[in-house]
Structure 1
Amino acid sequence: MIQSMTGFGKSTLQLATKKITVEVKSLNSKGMDLNVRMPSVYREMELSLRNQISQRLERGKVDFALYIEVTGEETSTKVNAPIVKAYMSQMRDILADADETELMKMAVRMPDALKTERDELDENEWKQILTVINEALANINNFRADEGLSLEKEFQLRIANIRLYMEQALELDPERVQNIKNKLQTAIDELKVTVDENRFEQELIYYLEKLDITEEKVRLTNHLDYFIETLNGNEANGRKLGFITQEMGREINTMGSKSNHAGMQKLVVQMKDELEKIKEQVLNVL
Protein backbone atom coordinates (compact mmCIF):
# COMPACT_ATOMS: atom_id res chain seq x y z
CA MET A 1 0.00 0.00 0.00
CA ILE A 2 1.33 3.43 -0.93
CA GLN A 3 1.72 6.38 1.42
CA SER A 4 1.49 10.08 0.71
CA MET A 5 4.34 12.42 1.65
CA THR A 6 1.77 14.95 2.84
CA GLY A 7 0.80 14.58 6.49
CA PHE A 8 0.41 16.09 9.95
CA GLY A 9 0.90 14.62 13.40
CA LYS A 10 0.55 16.12 16.88
CA SER A 11 0.87 14.87 20.44
CA THR A 12 1.00 16.49 23.91
CA LEU A 13 2.31 15.58 27.37
CA GLN A 14 1.51 17.29 30.67
CA LEU A 15 4.38 17.16 33.18
CA ALA A 16 4.43 18.53 36.71
CA THR A 17 5.45 22.08 35.76
CA LYS A 18 5.30 22.16 31.96
CA LYS A 19 3.30 21.07 28.96
CA ILE A 20 5.16 19.46 26.05
CA THR A 21 3.68 19.69 22.54
CA VAL A 22 5.16 17.96 19.49
CA GLU A 23 4.00 18.81 15.96
CA VAL A 24 5.22 17.21 12.74
CA LYS A 25 4.11 18.13 9.23
CA SER A 26 5.43 17.07 5.84
CA LEU A 27 5.06 17.92 2.16
CA ASN A 28 6.47 16.28 -0.96
CA SER A 29 10.18 16.48 -1.73
CA LYS A 30 12.74 14.53 -3.76
CA GLY A 31 14.60 13.52 -0.59
CA MET A 32 14.51 14.07 3.16
CA ASP A 33 14.49 17.82 3.86
CA LEU A 34 14.21 18.06 7.65
CA ASN A 35 13.83 21.21 9.74
CA VAL A 36 13.92 20.79 13.55
CA ARG A 37 12.87 23.41 16.11
CA MET A 38 13.32 22.63 19.80
CA PRO A 39 14.38 24.36 23.05
CA SER A 40 18.13 24.68 23.60
CA VAL A 41 18.03 22.43 26.67
CA TYR A 42 17.31 19.46 24.37
CA ARG A 43 19.80 20.39 21.62
CA GLU A 44 22.25 17.64 22.57
CA MET A 45 19.58 15.10 21.55
CA GLU A 46 18.95 16.68 18.15
CA LEU A 47 21.25 14.41 16.10
CA SER A 48 19.70 11.18 17.36
CA LEU A 49 16.26 12.74 16.97
CA ARG A 50 16.97 13.64 13.34
CA ASN A 51 18.04 10.05 12.64
CA GLN A 52 14.87 8.75 14.25
CA ILE A 53 12.62 11.07 12.22
CA SER A 54 14.46 10.24 8.97
CA GLN A 55 14.05 6.51 9.54
CA ARG A 56 10.34 6.80 10.35
CA LEU A 57 9.33 9.26 7.61
CA GLU A 58 11.92 8.34 4.92
CA ARG A 59 11.23 11.20 2.50
CA GLY A 60 9.59 14.61 2.28
CA LYS A 61 9.95 18.22 3.37
CA VAL A 62 9.46 17.73 7.11
CA ASP A 63 8.99 20.38 9.79
CA PHE A 64 9.40 19.10 13.35
CA ALA A 65 8.66 21.36 16.32
CA LEU A 66 8.87 20.70 20.07
CA TYR A 67 7.22 23.36 22.24
CA ILE A 68 7.36 23.88 26.02
CA GLU A 69 4.67 25.75 27.91
CA VAL A 70 5.51 26.40 31.59
CA THR A 71 2.44 25.68 33.69
CA GLY A 72 4.04 25.71 37.18
CA GLU A 73 5.41 28.53 39.30
CA GLU A 74 9.06 27.78 38.57
CA THR A 75 11.00 29.95 36.14
CA SER A 76 14.57 29.79 34.92
CA THR A 77 14.82 33.61 34.71
CA LYS A 78 15.75 35.28 38.03
CA VAL A 79 16.61 38.77 39.24
CA ASN A 80 20.36 39.32 39.46
CA ALA A 81 20.22 40.91 42.93
CA PRO A 82 23.86 42.12 43.28
CA ILE A 83 23.71 43.86 39.90
CA VAL A 84 20.34 45.51 40.66
CA LYS A 85 21.61 46.76 44.04
CA ALA A 86 24.75 48.16 42.41
CA TYR A 87 22.63 50.05 39.82
CA MET A 88 20.39 51.47 42.55
CA SER A 89 23.40 52.61 44.57
CA GLN A 90 24.87 54.43 41.59
CA MET A 91 21.55 56.11 40.80
CA ARG A 92 21.16 57.29 44.44
CA ASP A 93 24.46 59.11 44.05
CA ILE A 94 23.06 60.85 40.99
CA LEU A 95 19.47 61.30 42.16
CA ALA A 96 19.63 61.77 45.92
CA ASP A 97 15.90 62.52 46.31
CA ALA A 98 14.67 59.74 44.01
CA ASP A 99 11.96 57.36 45.22
CA GLU A 100 13.20 53.79 45.93
CA THR A 101 10.39 52.26 43.86
CA GLU A 102 11.35 54.36 40.85
CA LEU A 103 15.01 53.43 41.31
CA MET A 104 14.02 49.74 41.37
CA LYS A 105 11.99 50.11 38.15
CA MET A 106 14.95 51.71 36.40
CA ALA A 107 17.46 49.22 37.77
CA VAL A 108 15.65 46.08 36.54
CA ARG A 109 15.66 47.53 33.00
CA MET A 110 19.44 47.84 32.96
CA PRO A 111 21.74 45.27 31.25
CA ASP A 112 22.32 42.03 33.18
CA ALA A 113 19.59 42.87 35.72
CA LEU A 114 17.98 39.53 34.90
CA LYS A 115 19.81 36.24 34.53
CA THR A 116 18.64 33.02 32.94
CA GLU A 117 19.89 29.83 34.48
CA ARG A 118 20.46 27.10 31.92
CA ASP A 119 18.42 24.01 32.67
CA GLU A 120 20.19 20.67 32.59
CA LEU A 121 18.73 17.86 30.53
CA ASP A 122 16.66 15.53 32.67
CA GLU A 123 17.09 11.99 31.29
CA ASN A 124 13.82 10.74 32.78
CA GLU A 125 11.96 13.72 31.37
CA TRP A 126 13.49 13.12 27.93
CA LYS A 127 12.32 9.50 27.99
CA GLN A 128 8.78 10.77 28.55
CA ILE A 129 9.18 13.27 25.74
CA LEU A 130 10.37 10.49 23.42
CA THR A 131 7.06 8.69 23.91
CA VAL A 132 5.24 11.85 22.79
CA ILE A 133 7.56 12.19 19.78
CA ASN A 134 6.91 8.57 18.80
CA GLU A 135 3.18 9.15 19.14
CA ALA A 136 3.34 12.24 16.89
CA LEU A 137 5.36 10.29 14.29
CA ALA A 138 2.82 7.46 14.43
CA ASN A 139 0.02 10.00 13.92
CA ILE A 140 1.65 11.55 10.86
CA ASN A 141 2.28 8.09 9.37
CA ASN A 142 -1.39 7.23 9.91
CA PHE A 143 -2.30 10.49 8.17
CA ARG A 144 0.04 9.60 5.30
CA ALA A 145 -1.51 6.14 5.01
CA ASP A 146 -5.02 7.59 4.80
CA GLU A 147 -3.87 10.02 2.11
CA GLY A 148 -2.22 7.08 0.35
CA LEU A 149 -5.56 5.26 0.16
CA SER A 150 -7.11 8.27 -1.55
CA LEU A 151 -4.20 8.44 -4.01
CA GLU A 152 -4.48 4.72 -4.75
CA LYS A 153 -8.17 5.06 -5.64
CA GLU A 154 -7.31 8.00 -7.89
CA PHE A 155 -4.55 6.02 -9.65
CA GLN A 156 -6.81 2.98 -10.14
CA LEU A 157 -9.42 5.20 -11.77
CA ARG A 158 -6.94 6.94 -14.09
CA ILE A 159 -5.25 3.68 -15.14
CA ALA A 160 -8.66 2.14 -15.89
CA ASN A 161 -9.54 5.18 -18.01
CA ILE A 162 -6.30 4.88 -20.02
CA ARG A 163 -7.05 1.18 -20.66
CA LEU A 164 -10.56 2.06 -21.80
CA TYR A 165 -9.38 4.79 -24.20
CA MET A 166 -6.67 2.48 -25.56
CA GLU A 167 -9.22 -0.28 -26.29
CA GLN A 168 -11.54 2.25 -27.94
CA ALA A 169 -8.64 3.42 -30.11
CA LEU A 170 -7.89 -0.16 -31.15
CA GLU A 171 -11.53 -0.65 -32.14
CA LEU A 172 -11.04 2.19 -34.64
CA ASP A 173 -7.89 0.60 -36.10
CA PRO A 174 -9.62 -1.38 -38.92
CA GLU A 175 -11.40 1.79 -40.04
CA ARG A 176 -8.09 3.69 -39.94
CA VAL A 177 -6.34 1.04 -42.06
CA GLN A 178 -9.15 1.03 -44.61
CA ASN A 179 -9.03 4.84 -44.81
CA ILE A 180 -5.29 4.69 -45.52
CA LYS A 181 -5.83 2.11 -48.29
CA ASN A 182 -8.59 4.19 -49.83
CA LYS A 183 -6.47 7.36 -49.80
CA LEU A 184 -3.55 5.62 -51.50
CA GLN A 185 -5.79 4.00 -54.09
CA THR A 186 -7.50 7.33 -54.82
CA ALA A 187 -4.13 9.04 -55.23
CA ILE A 188 -2.99 6.42 -57.73
CA ASP A 189 -6.27 6.58 -59.64
CA GLU A 190 -5.88 10.34 -59.96
CA LEU A 191 -2.43 9.84 -61.50
CA LYS A 192 -4.08 7.74 -64.26
CA VAL A 193 -1.13 5.39 -64.56
CA THR A 194 -0.89 1.63 -64.69
CA VAL A 195 0.39 0.16 -61.42
CA ASP A 196 1.71 -3.32 -60.72
CA GLU A 197 -0.84 -4.71 -58.25
CA ASN A 198 1.71 -6.93 -56.50
CA ARG A 199 4.11 -4.04 -56.05
CA PHE A 200 1.26 -1.86 -54.84
CA GLU A 201 0.30 -4.47 -52.23
CA GLN A 202 3.91 -4.74 -51.06
CA GLU A 203 4.26 -0.98 -50.68
CA LEU A 204 0.90 -0.78 -48.91
CA ILE A 205 1.88 -3.51 -46.43
CA TYR A 206 5.20 -1.75 -45.75
CA TYR A 207 3.42 1.56 -45.19
CA LEU A 208 0.81 0.03 -42.90
CA GLU A 209 3.48 -1.79 -40.87
CA LYS A 210 5.14 1.55 -40.16
CA LEU A 211 1.81 2.88 -38.84
CA ASP A 212 0.89 -0.28 -36.91
CA ILE A 213 0.31 0.40 -33.17
CA THR A 214 0.19 -3.22 -31.96
CA GLU A 215 3.63 -3.04 -30.30
CA GLU A 216 2.75 0.23 -28.59
CA LYS A 217 -0.48 -1.32 -27.31
CA VAL A 218 1.40 -4.34 -25.90
CA ARG A 219 4.09 -2.19 -24.22
CA LEU A 220 1.54 0.27 -22.83
CA THR A 221 -0.51 -2.61 -21.41
CA ASN A 222 2.61 -3.98 -19.73
CA HIS A 223 3.40 -0.56 -18.24
CA LEU A 224 -0.17 -0.21 -16.93
CA ASP A 225 0.05 -3.66 -15.34
CA TYR A 226 3.45 -2.87 -13.83
CA PHE A 227 2.14 0.40 -12.41
CA ILE A 228 -0.68 -1.44 -10.60
CA GLU A 229 1.74 -4.14 -9.42
CA THR A 230 4.10 -1.50 -8.01
CA LEU A 231 1.15 0.34 -6.49
CA ASN A 232 0.26 -2.76 -4.49
CA GLY A 233 3.84 -3.37 -3.31
CA ASN A 234 5.04 -2.93 0.28
CA GLU A 235 8.06 -0.71 -0.35
CA ALA A 236 8.30 3.07 -0.74
CA ASN A 237 7.77 3.32 -4.50
CA GLY A 238 7.03 6.91 -5.50
CA ARG A 239 10.18 7.21 -7.64
CA LYS A 240 9.48 3.91 -9.42
CA LEU A 241 5.92 4.96 -10.22
CA GLY A 242 7.34 8.17 -11.67
CA PHE A 243 9.66 6.20 -13.98
CA ILE A 244 6.78 3.99 -15.14
CA THR A 245 4.64 7.02 -16.03
CA GLN A 246 7.49 8.29 -18.23
CA GLU A 247 7.48 5.01 -20.17
CA MET A 248 3.69 5.13 -20.46
CA GLY A 249 3.98 8.62 -21.91
CA ARG A 250 6.41 7.46 -24.61
CA GLU A 251 4.03 4.75 -25.83
CA ILE A 252 1.00 7.06 -25.82
CA ASN A 253 2.94 9.71 -27.76
CA THR A 254 4.02 7.13 -30.35
CA MET A 255 0.44 5.93 -30.75
CA GLY A 256 -0.60 9.53 -31.34
CA SER A 257 2.05 10.13 -33.98
CA LYS A 258 1.05 6.94 -35.85
CA SER A 259 -2.72 7.25 -35.59
CA ASN A 260 -3.57 9.40 -38.67
CA HIS A 261 -7.20 9.21 -37.61
CA ALA A 262 -9.23 11.99 -35.98
CA GLY A 263 -11.13 9.67 -33.63
CA MET A 264 -7.94 7.89 -32.49
CA GLN A 265 -6.12 11.17 -31.99
CA LYS A 266 -8.95 12.41 -29.78
CA LEU A 267 -8.67 9.27 -27.65
CA VAL A 268 -4.88 9.71 -27.44
CA VAL A 269 -5.42 13.25 -26.13
CA GLN A 270 -7.74 11.85 -23.46
CA MET A 271 -5.10 9.26 -22.52
CA LYS A 272 -2.52 12.01 -22.18
CA ASP A 273 -4.87 14.00 -19.96
CA GLU A 274 -5.34 11.01 -17.65
CA LEU A 275 -1.58 10.42 -17.56
CA GLU A 276 -0.87 14.04 -16.60
CA LYS A 277 -3.25 13.70 -13.67
CA ILE A 278 -1.35 10.59 -12.58
CA LYS A 279 2.00 12.38 -12.86
CA GLU A 280 0.79 15.26 -10.71
CA GLN A 281 -0.28 12.90 -7.91
CA VAL A 282 2.77 10.60 -8.18
CA LEU A 283 4.87 13.52 -6.92
CA ASN A 284 3.08 13.13 -3.56
CA VAL A 285 3.79 9.41 -3.22
CA LEU A 286 6.43 8.36 -0.69
Structure 2
Amino acid sequence: MIRSMTGFARRERQGPWGTLVCELRTVNHRYLEISLRLPDDLKSLDNDLRQAITGALRRGKVDANLYLKSSGGSQQSLEIDTALLDELAARINEVRQRVPDTAQPSPLDLLRWPGVIRDASIDSTPVLAAALELLKESLTELNDTRLREGQRIRELLLSRCIAMRTQVQQVRARLPEVSLRLRTRISEKISQLGVTPDPERLEQELVLYAHKMDVDEEMDRLAGHLEEVTGVLDSAEPAGRRLDFLMQELNREANTLSSKSQDSETTRAAVDMKVMIEQMREQIQNVE
Protein backbone atom coordinates (compact mmCIF):
# COMPACT_ATOMS: atom_id res chain seq x y z
CA MET A 1 0.00 0.00 0.00
CA ILE A 2 1.25 3.46 -0.81
CA ARG A 3 1.65 6.07 1.92
CA SER A 4 1.31 9.81 1.79
CA MET A 5 4.23 11.97 2.85
CA THR A 6 1.86 14.35 4.65
CA GLY A 7 0.89 13.57 8.23
CA PHE A 8 0.71 14.71 11.84
CA ALA A 9 0.96 12.92 15.16
CA ARG A 10 0.98 14.07 18.78
CA ARG A 11 1.50 11.95 21.90
CA GLU A 12 1.93 12.78 25.60
CA ARG A 13 3.26 10.80 28.54
CA GLN A 14 3.34 11.71 32.21
CA GLY A 15 5.76 10.58 34.88
CA PRO A 16 7.47 11.75 38.07
CA TRP A 17 9.73 13.93 35.90
CA GLY A 18 6.74 15.79 34.41
CA THR A 19 4.99 15.59 31.04
CA LEU A 20 6.64 14.57 27.80
CA VAL A 21 5.07 15.80 24.55
CA CYS A 22 6.06 14.57 21.09
CA GLU A 23 4.80 16.23 17.91
CA LEU A 24 5.59 15.03 14.39
CA ARG A 25 4.74 16.81 11.16
CA THR A 26 5.69 15.59 7.69
CA VAL A 27 5.31 17.08 4.23
CA ASN A 28 6.47 15.97 0.81
CA HIS A 29 10.16 16.10 -0.05
CA ARG A 30 12.39 14.41 -2.58
CA TYR A 31 14.43 12.72 0.14
CA LEU A 32 14.18 12.16 3.90
CA GLU A 33 15.02 15.40 5.72
CA ILE A 34 14.79 15.46 9.52
CA SER A 35 14.48 18.59 11.64
CA LEU A 36 14.69 17.58 15.33
CA ARG A 37 14.12 19.95 18.26
CA LEU A 38 14.92 18.76 21.77
CA PRO A 39 15.19 20.33 25.23
CA ASP A 40 18.63 20.28 26.84
CA ASP A 41 17.64 17.35 29.07
CA LEU A 42 17.08 15.16 25.98
CA LYS A 43 19.98 16.29 23.78
CA SER A 44 21.85 13.04 24.38
CA LEU A 45 19.04 11.18 22.57
CA ASP A 46 19.54 13.05 19.30
CA ASN A 47 21.24 10.18 17.44
CA ASP A 48 18.87 7.49 18.74
CA LEU A 49 15.81 9.54 17.81
CA ARG A 50 17.12 10.19 14.31
CA GLN A 51 17.77 6.49 13.81
CA ALA A 52 14.22 5.68 14.90
CA ILE A 53 12.78 8.20 12.43
CA THR A 54 15.00 6.90 9.62
CA GLY A 55 13.85 3.36 10.32
CA ALA A 56 10.15 4.31 10.18
CA LEU A 57 10.09 6.76 7.25
CA ARG A 58 11.62 6.67 3.78
CA ARG A 59 10.85 10.08 2.28
CA GLY A 60 9.48 13.43 3.39
CA LYS A 61 10.47 16.50 5.37
CA VAL A 62 10.03 15.67 9.05
CA ASP A 63 9.63 18.23 11.83
CA ALA A 64 10.02 16.37 15.13
CA ASN A 65 9.58 18.28 18.39
CA LEU A 66 9.90 16.88 21.92
CA TYR A 67 8.98 18.97 24.95
CA LEU A 68 9.48 18.24 28.64
CA LYS A 69 7.16 20.06 31.03
CA SER A 70 8.16 19.76 34.67
CA SER A 71 5.52 18.86 37.24
CA GLY A 72 3.93 22.06 38.55
CA GLY A 73 3.83 21.13 42.21
CA SER A 74 7.13 19.37 42.55
CA GLN A 75 10.00 20.85 44.52
CA GLN A 76 13.01 21.06 42.24
CA SER A 77 16.58 21.86 43.14
CA LEU A 78 19.37 23.10 40.91
CA GLU A 79 22.95 21.97 40.70
CA ILE A 80 26.00 23.43 39.00
CA ASP A 81 28.33 21.47 36.75
CA THR A 82 31.52 22.59 38.47
CA ALA A 83 33.79 20.87 35.96
CA LEU A 84 32.16 22.73 33.09
CA LEU A 85 32.24 25.98 35.09
CA ASP A 86 35.98 25.57 35.79
CA GLU A 87 36.64 24.86 32.11
CA LEU A 88 34.61 27.91 31.10
CA ALA A 89 36.50 30.12 33.58
CA ALA A 90 39.84 28.87 32.24
CA ARG A 91 38.85 29.70 28.68
CA ILE A 92 37.69 33.17 29.78
CA ASN A 93 41.11 33.80 31.41
CA GLU A 94 42.84 32.77 28.18
CA VAL A 95 40.75 35.27 26.24
CA ARG A 96 41.50 38.04 28.79
CA GLN A 97 45.24 37.37 28.48
CA ARG A 98 45.05 37.84 24.72
CA VAL A 99 42.53 40.70 24.87
CA PRO A 100 43.10 42.50 28.20
CA ASP A 101 40.32 45.02 27.69
CA THR A 102 37.67 42.30 27.57
CA ALA A 103 34.91 42.85 30.15
CA GLN A 104 34.69 40.39 32.98
CA PRO A 105 31.52 38.25 32.69
CA SER A 106 29.15 38.35 35.61
CA PRO A 107 28.23 35.20 37.59
CA LEU A 108 24.78 35.35 36.03
CA ASP A 109 26.36 35.26 32.55
CA LEU A 110 28.26 32.12 33.52
CA LEU A 111 25.14 30.46 34.88
CA ARG A 112 23.38 31.13 31.59
CA TRP A 113 25.93 29.07 29.70
CA PRO A 114 24.21 25.86 28.41
CA GLY A 115 24.81 22.96 30.76
CA VAL A 116 26.35 24.92 33.66
CA ILE A 117 23.14 24.82 35.68
CA ARG A 118 20.71 21.92 35.51
CA ASP A 119 17.71 20.46 37.27
CA ALA A 120 19.00 18.00 39.83
CA SER A 121 15.61 16.46 40.52
CA ILE A 122 15.29 14.68 37.16
CA ASP A 123 16.73 11.22 36.86
CA SER A 124 17.83 11.18 33.24
CA THR A 125 17.60 7.43 32.67
CA PRO A 126 13.80 6.96 32.91
CA VAL A 127 12.96 10.19 31.12
CA LEU A 128 15.30 9.36 28.23
CA ALA A 129 13.78 5.89 27.89
CA ALA A 130 10.28 7.35 28.01
CA ALA A 131 11.16 9.94 25.34
CA LEU A 132 12.46 7.30 22.92
CA GLU A 133 9.42 5.10 23.46
CA LEU A 134 7.08 8.07 23.05
CA LEU A 135 8.71 8.95 19.71
CA LYS A 136 8.23 5.39 18.46
CA GLU A 137 4.55 5.50 19.44
CA SER A 138 4.20 8.84 17.63
CA LEU A 139 5.86 7.38 14.52
CA THR A 140 3.34 4.52 14.54
CA GLU A 141 0.47 6.99 14.76
CA LEU A 142 2.05 9.12 12.03
CA ASN A 143 2.41 6.16 9.68
CA ASP A 144 -1.20 5.15 10.31
CA THR A 145 -2.25 8.66 9.28
CA ARG A 146 -0.02 8.59 6.21
CA LEU A 147 -1.35 5.17 5.26
CA ARG A 148 -4.97 6.36 5.43
CA GLU A 149 -4.13 9.37 3.28
CA GLY A 150 -2.22 7.07 0.93
CA GLN A 151 -5.34 4.90 0.58
CA ARG A 152 -7.32 7.95 -0.48
CA ILE A 153 -4.67 8.85 -3.05
CA ARG A 154 -4.61 5.26 -4.28
CA GLU A 155 -8.37 5.27 -4.90
CA LEU A 156 -8.08 8.53 -6.82
CA LEU A 157 -5.22 7.20 -8.95
CA LEU A 158 -7.07 3.96 -9.66
CA SER A 159 -10.17 5.84 -10.77
CA ARG A 160 -8.04 7.86 -13.22
CA CYS A 161 -6.39 4.69 -14.51
CA ILE A 162 -9.80 3.10 -15.14
CA ALA A 163 -10.96 6.22 -16.99
CA MET A 164 -7.81 6.23 -19.12
CA ARG A 165 -8.21 2.55 -19.96
CA THR A 166 -11.70 3.36 -21.22
CA GLN A 167 -10.24 6.13 -23.37
CA VAL A 168 -7.61 3.76 -24.78
CA GLN A 169 -10.25 1.15 -25.63
CA GLN A 170 -12.42 3.74 -27.34
CA VAL A 171 -9.54 5.10 -29.41
CA ARG A 172 -8.44 1.58 -30.36
CA ALA A 173 -11.98 0.68 -31.42
CA ARG A 174 -12.11 3.72 -33.71
CA LEU A 175 -8.81 3.01 -35.47
CA PRO A 176 -10.29 1.00 -38.41
CA GLU A 177 -12.94 3.67 -38.99
CA VAL A 178 -10.35 6.47 -38.81
CA SER A 179 -8.10 4.65 -41.27
CA LEU A 180 -10.98 4.13 -43.72
CA ARG A 181 -12.02 7.78 -43.46
CA LEU A 182 -8.42 8.84 -44.05
CA ARG A 183 -8.17 6.79 -47.24
CA THR A 184 -11.53 8.09 -48.45
CA ARG A 185 -10.56 11.71 -47.81
CA ILE A 186 -7.28 11.39 -49.70
CA SER A 187 -8.98 9.66 -52.63
CA GLU A 188 -11.59 12.44 -52.79
CA LYS A 189 -8.92 15.14 -52.81
CA ILE A 190 -7.10 13.41 -55.67
CA SER A 191 -10.36 13.13 -57.61
CA GLN A 192 -10.95 16.86 -57.16
CA LEU A 193 -7.65 17.50 -58.90
CA GLY A 194 -9.03 15.86 -62.04
CA VAL A 195 -6.16 13.39 -62.47
CA THR A 196 -6.10 9.62 -62.61
CA PRO A 197 -3.33 8.32 -60.35
CA ASP A 198 -1.58 5.01 -60.77
CA PRO A 199 -3.57 2.63 -58.50
CA GLU A 200 -0.48 0.73 -57.34
CA ARG A 201 1.44 3.91 -56.55
CA LEU A 202 -1.60 5.39 -54.82
CA GLU A 203 -1.95 2.30 -52.65
CA GLN A 204 1.73 2.48 -51.67
CA GLU A 205 1.40 6.14 -50.69
CA LEU A 206 -1.76 5.46 -48.72
CA VAL A 207 -0.05 2.63 -46.83
CA LEU A 208 2.95 4.86 -46.01
CA TYR A 209 0.72 7.71 -44.87
CA ALA A 210 -1.43 5.39 -42.78
CA HIS A 211 1.71 3.95 -41.19
CA LYS A 212 2.89 7.43 -40.16
CA MET A 213 -0.49 8.13 -38.59
CA ASP A 214 -0.81 4.69 -36.94
CA VAL A 215 -1.16 4.85 -33.13
CA ASP A 216 -1.36 1.13 -32.31
CA GLU A 217 2.04 1.23 -30.57
CA GLU A 218 1.01 4.24 -28.49
CA MET A 219 -2.15 2.43 -27.46
CA ASP A 220 -0.15 -0.64 -26.43
CA ARG A 221 2.32 1.41 -24.41
CA LEU A 222 -0.41 3.43 -22.73
CA ALA A 223 -2.19 0.21 -21.72
CA GLY A 224 1.10 -1.28 -20.47
CA HIS A 225 1.99 1.78 -18.39
CA LEU A 226 -1.48 1.84 -16.84
CA GLU A 227 -1.08 -1.81 -15.81
CA GLU A 228 2.28 -0.96 -14.29
CA VAL A 229 0.77 1.91 -12.31
CA THR A 230 -1.87 -0.43 -10.90
CA GLY A 231 0.81 -2.93 -9.89
CA VAL A 232 2.97 -0.30 -8.21
CA LEU A 233 0.01 0.99 -6.18
CA ASP A 234 -0.26 -2.42 -4.48
CA SER A 235 3.48 -2.77 -3.88
CA ALA A 236 4.83 -2.86 -0.34
CA GLU A 237 7.82 -0.70 -1.32
CA PRO A 238 7.84 3.13 -1.49
CA ALA A 239 6.31 3.96 -4.87
CA GLY A 240 6.47 7.73 -5.29
CA ARG A 241 9.51 7.93 -7.58
CA ARG A 242 8.40 4.98 -9.70
CA LEU A 243 4.94 6.47 -10.13
CA ASP A 244 6.42 9.83 -11.07
CA PHE A 245 8.47 8.15 -13.80
CA LEU A 246 5.39 6.33 -15.10
CA MET A 247 3.50 9.64 -15.29
CA GLN A 248 6.26 10.99 -17.53
CA GLU A 249 5.94 7.96 -19.81
CA LEU A 250 2.15 8.21 -19.93
CA ASN A 251 2.36 11.89 -20.78
CA ARG A 252 4.85 11.17 -23.57
CA GLU A 253 2.54 8.61 -25.19
CA ALA A 254 -0.48 10.91 -24.84
CA ASN A 255 1.47 13.71 -26.55
CA THR A 256 2.47 11.40 -29.41
CA LEU A 257 -1.13 10.26 -29.78
CA SER A 258 -2.26 13.86 -30.00
CA SER A 259 0.38 14.78 -32.61
CA LYS A 260 -0.48 11.78 -34.80
CA SER A 261 -4.24 12.17 -34.50
CA GLN A 262 -6.23 12.71 -37.71
CA ASP A 263 -9.56 12.48 -35.91
CA SER A 264 -11.26 14.98 -33.61
CA GLU A 265 -12.45 12.26 -31.22
CA THR A 266 -8.93 10.86 -30.90
CA THR A 267 -7.55 14.35 -30.29
CA ARG A 268 -10.18 14.95 -27.62
CA ALA A 269 -9.31 11.63 -25.97
CA ALA A 270 -5.60 12.53 -25.95
CA VAL A 271 -6.37 15.88 -24.30
CA ASP A 272 -8.55 14.18 -21.67
CA MET A 273 -5.73 11.74 -20.96
CA LYS A 274 -3.22 14.53 -20.46
CA VAL A 275 -5.58 16.25 -18.03
CA MET A 276 -5.95 13.03 -16.01
CA ILE A 277 -2.21 12.40 -16.09
CA GLU A 278 -1.58 15.88 -14.68
CA GLN A 279 -4.15 15.24 -11.94
CA MET A 280 -2.37 12.00 -11.05
CA ARG A 281 1.03 13.68 -11.12
CA GLU A 282 -0.14 16.30 -8.59
CA GLN A 283 -1.27 13.58 -6.20
CA ILE A 284 1.86 11.49 -6.72
CA GLN A 285 4.05 14.40 -5.57
CA ASN A 286 2.73 13.56 -2.10
CA VAL A 287 3.38 9.79 -2.25
CA GLU A 288 6.27 8.33 -0.26
**TM-score, normalization by structure 2:** 0.83
Provide the residue aligned with 2:233 in structure 1: 231
Give the drift of 1:271: 0.8
Distance in 2 (alpha carbons) for counterparts of 1:252 and 1:138? 40
Provide the residue aligned with 1:165 in structure 2: 167
Provide the residue aligned with 2:108 in structure 1: 112
2:199 paired residue among 193, 197, 219: 197
Give the drift of 1:115: 5.0
SS of residue matched to 2:118: coil
Give the drift of 1:73: 2.7
- Whether the aligned pair in 1 keeps the contact of 2:17 and 2:127 (CA below 8 Å) is no
Aligned pair count reads 255
Distance in 2 (alpha carbons) for counterparts of 1:194 and 1:269? 39
Give the drift of 1:171: 2.6
Instruction: Name stretches of at least 5 consecutive residues in structure 2 with no aligned partner.
Output: 80-105
Instruction: Name stretches of at least 5 consecutive residues in structure 1 with no aligned partner.
Output: 79-109
Mark the CA change 1:235 to 1:76 in structure 2 (over 3 Å): closer, same or farther. Answer: farther
Write the letter of the residue equivalent to 2:189: A
> Matches of residues 247-286 of structure 1 in structure 2 within 5 Å?
247-286=249-288
Provide the residue aligned with 1:35 in structure 2: 35
Provide the residue aligned with 1:184 in structure 2: 186
Q: Which has the larger radius of gyration?
A: 1
Cα RMSD of the aligned pairs, angstroms, is: 2.0
**Percent pairwise identity:** 33
1:130 paired residue among 129, 132, 141: 132
Distance in 2 (alpha carbons) for counterparts of 1:266 and 1:48? 55
Provide the residue aligned with 1:19 in structure 2: 19
Provide the residue aligned with 1:6 in structure 2: 6
Give the drift of 1:31: 0.3
- Runs (4+) of structure 1 exceeding 4 A deviation are 75-78, 113-116
> Matches of residues 207-218 of structure 1 in structure 2 within 5 Å?
207-218=209-220
Distance in 1 (alpha carbons) for counterparts of 2:230 and 2:4? 16
Write the letter of the residue equivalent to 2:157: F
Distance in 1 (alpha carbons) for counterparts of 2:40 and 2:164? 54
SS of residue matched to 2:287: coil
Provide the residue aligned with 1:53 in structure 2: 53
Give the drift of 1:179: 2.4
Provide the residue aligned with 2:74 in structure 1: 73
